[in-house]
Amino acid sequence: MNMLYERRISSPLGELHVVASNEAIVGVYLPGHKGAPVILARDGREHPVLGEATRQLEEYFAGQRQFFMLPLDPRGSDFQREVWRALLEIRFGETRSYAELARVLGRPQAARAVGAANAKNPISIIVPCHRVIAGDGALTGYAGGIAAKRWLLSHEQDRHAPGPTIS
């Protein structure tokens, strides 16, 4: 069994719960995150991946980082992982609708399934599910809350850069 490690870090959105395996980030949860699992993990103060994630998240919140370069291992179905990989292609400061994301995945009728997978994204902020909005531009469906989604989108406004990949 792969050991999990955790670190809590301060952010403008409140305390984030960041979780890593031995090799990669497996979760970033915002305060009050809907559907966040109960995770039994060891203290990750000395964990190198958590240390790097903390540094990069702090840079992001300070406006000094537009994309993350971290090993990621979100746990989910093949379809969920496909959706989460597609989220990484949405550039900083940009948004996509659920329908647009479904079309990019070659599944134009799967907007609801894309939305459901997006809602299960375990690595908030780093895998930018906050960048997916309703077709009419409304801010909907963010596990960290609509206020957090609004803050993140405002924080990213008018900036662009490529993102990381999930293997």
CA separation for the pair 120, 143 (Å, rounded): 8
| Known active-site residue 129 | yes
Phi, psi of 114 (to 5 degrees): -60, -45
Q: Which of 129, 132, 152, 153 is catalytic?
A: 129
Q: Are 81 and 87 in contact (CB under 8 A)?
A: no
**Distance from chain centroid for Cα 88:** 9
Please give the full DSSP string across 129-155, using - where no structure is assigned. GGGEE-TTS-----TT-HHHHHHHHHH
Catalytic (active-site) positions: 129
